[in-house]
Amino acid sequence: MASGIHFPNQPLADRMRPGTLDDFIGQDHLVGANAVIRKMVQSGSLSSFILWGPPGVGKTTLATIISQQLDRPFYRLSAVQSGVKDVREIIEKARKMQFFDKPNPVLFIDEIHRFSKSQQDSLLGAVEQGVFTLIGATTENPSFEVISPLLSRCQVYTLNALSKENLIELLENAIEKDAYLKKLTIDTRENEAMLQYSGGDARKLLNTLEVVVKAECSDPDFTSESIITITNEMVKERLQENMALYDKNGEMHYDIISAFIKSVRGSDPDAAVYWLARMLEGGEEIKFIARRMVILASEDIGLANPNALLMATNCFQAVHMIGMPEARIILSETAIYLAASPKSNSAYAAINLAQNMVRETGNLTVPLHLRNAPTSLMKELGYGENYKYAHNYQDQFVQEQYLPDDLKDHQIYTPGVNPREDEMRKRLDHLWNDMKAYGKKK
């Protein structure tokens, strides 16, 4: 480079990886004063746990810091590249250490949600016997992706996306403390573009900074006296020029799944299949895609086409059984079907409204006629009295009050505008007459 600054192959994000809990930025609810992980490290009593959070928030770093501060041997496996054989080898190494009265090692498994059931099963005995302390990291909900026996032996700690303040602190630290960047004069006049591209991912943020700085240093007119002035426009230009470097290892994960969801919601099957292909070519987990489509089927299609949920659920089960490459056909079929389906978010809107209502009104009393009356005392107190059994009436319906007294005049569900819910609206209006007005919000 013209400046004489030679950057190492090690990425800036790795160079800036903190070595102690005091240097760790963010996740104060876990590592701050009196927080659970800090207390665990201070006491020296370490139990197995799973770190759940988005990419680039410090899961791997936190596991490494814990093992270093407790002076524990540290083994690391990637669920993408490792199998049962690798797990067994580490279990054997850890067992041998027990003869030398050493503290049990830490086994860190990155992307533990990608371990198969048999791989997860192979961990159970060693975790239960304390052969090693397991720390798993996942971007997916462990309740869905980690087998129950293993989950019951681990605490789950949730890591949050980094705040704007956290990200700015990371940028300032890198500019001031990195052995290579601190030799340069860097003026961060604007940081919004870098923060926007990072999406709360520390690794992505620091890689973006390094791409921009390297690009400026490689300019023929750059000298050691030059000032690198970072603006939003300059960041956008440099990232366009270096997009392959910037986006390596699938760092646009959340942007692409967002584009996929919005394309299905927007009834564009062409775009839906394109973004599906982008995810598949990038190595995205097929169960993750299928699970998102199950959510889409309820949230965005819902009662306009209830078969969409059946289709999406069958897709999830099918791709789990079939696997790649054939699973791509099942995913494509489902994505096209969901995109082409009529849309309604009435069920999504109804449950949101109902939950907000519960939070605002608290635990309202259940009307007496709706209460269960399993004992004679409860019957004497009027529980279940005057309840009208719907099946005893014409059309299996009788006008009755089912909401608490304070909410009896509220309407929560408003049918969407589509043929199927139009039929539902007409039936409900016919049954309830003036008691409820399903054609409009009251």
Query: Domain end: 224, 250, 276, which one?
Result: 250
Tell me, yes or no, whether 411 lies in a domain.
yes
- The pLDDT tens digits for 400-424 are 887 888 888 788 888 888 888 888 8
Residues 221 and 271 in one domain: no
- Provide CB contacts within 8 A for 268, sequence distance 6+: 339
Residues 43 and 150 in one domain: yes
CA distances from 353 to 113, 310, 359 (A): 33, 25, 10
Structural domain range at position 41: 27-158
The percent of residues above 90 in pLDDT, for the chain, comes to: 28
CA dihedral sign, ordered 60, 285, 276, 141: negative
Of 37-51, 70-84, 309-323, the range with the lowest mean pLDDT is 70-84
Tell me, yes or no, whether 345 lies in a domain.
no
Assess contact for 340 and 267: CB atoms under 8 A.
Answer: yes
- The pLDDT tens digits for 2-28 are 445 677 778 888 899 998 999 999 999
Helix, strand, coil shares, percent, the chain, to 5: 55, 5, 35
CA distances from 185 to 50, 82, 182 (A): 41, 43, 7
Q: Which helix (H) or strand (E) holds 187?
A: strand 185-188
Residues 104 and 194 in one domain: no
**Choice between 116 and 142, residue whose per-residue pLDDT is larger:** 142
CA distances from 11 to 25, 98, 126 (A): 18, 37, 35
Selection from 266, 203, 239, 145 nearest residue 14 by Cα: 203
Q: In CATH, what number is assigned to the domain containing residue 85?
A: 3.40.50.300
Residues 269 and 369 in one domain: no
pLDDT at 244: 44
The count of structural domains within the chain is 4
Query: Domain end: 221, 250, 279, which one?
Result: 250
Q: In CATH, what number is assigned to the domain containing residue 423?
A: 1.10.3710
Residues 262 and 246 in one domain: no
Residue 72 sits at the vertex; the CA angle it makes with 70 and 76, to the nearest 5 degrees, is: 125
Segment 242-254 mean pLDDT: 50
Whole-number Å distance between alpha carbons of 294 and 317: 11
Whole-number Å distance between alpha carbons of 239 and 155: 39
Selection from 178, 200, 167, 212 nearest residue 16 by Cα: 178
Q: Is 268 helix (H, G, I), strand (E, B) or coil?
A: coil
Segment 362-383 mean pLDDT: 78
Does pLDDT of 309 surpass 90? yes
Band (pLDDT 50/70/90 cuts) for residue 245 is very low
Tracing tokens 């293993």 back to the chain, one arrives at 150
CA dihedral sign, ordered 45, 49, 54, 59: positive
Average pLDDT taken over every residue of the chain: 84
> Which tokens in the block code for residue 352?
């949101």
CA-based diameter of the chain, in Å?
Answer: 93
Whole-number Å distance between alpha carbons of 212 and 210: 5
What single DSSP character describes residue 371?
A: S
Rg from Cα positions in the chain: 28
- The pLDDT tens digits for 262-302 are 999 988 889 899 999 988 877 788 888 999 999 999 999 99
Q: In CATH, what number is assigned to the domain containing residue 241?
A: 1.10.8.60
Residues 292 and 201 in one domain: no
Phi, psi dihedral angles at 417 (to 5 degrees): -95, 90
Residues 50 and 141 in one domain: yes
Does pLDDT of 239 surpass 90? no
Whole-number Å distance between alpha carbons of 174 and 228: 14
Tell me, yes or no, whether 401 lies in a domain.
yes
Q: Is 190 helix (H, G, I), strand (E, B) or coil?
A: coil
Tell me, yes or no, whether 349 lies in a domain.
no
Does pLDDT of 125 surpass 80? yes
Assess contact for 257 and 331: CB atoms under 8 A.
Answer: no
Residue 52 bridge partners (DSSP): 138, 158
Whole-number Å distance between alpha carbons of 106 and 94: 9
Of 26-35, 84-93, 171-180, 346-355, the range with the lowest mean pLDDT is 84-93
Segment 113-125 mean pLDDT: 83
Query: Domain end: 250, 276, 306, which one?
Result: 250
Q: Which amino acid is at 192?
A: E
Residues 393 and 317 in one domain: no
Residues 42 and 143 in one domain: yes
Most confident of 7-16, 32-41, 355-364, 395-404: 32-41
Does pLDDT of 188 surpass 50? yes
Phi, psi dihedral angles at 27 (to 5 degrees): 60, 40
pLDDT at 62: 94
**Beta-carbon count within 10 A of 334 CB:** 28
Q: Which amino acid is at 235?
A: V
Strand order in the sheet with 106-110: 74-78, 106-110, 133-138, 49-52, 155-158
Residues 225 and 260 in one domain: no
Residues 123 and 184 in one domain: no
- The pLDDT tens digits for 136-161 are 999 888 887 788 888 888 999 999 88
Whole-number Å distance between alpha carbons of 286 and 213: 36
Residues 134 and 74 in one domain: yes
Strands 227-230 and 133-138 come out as: unpaired
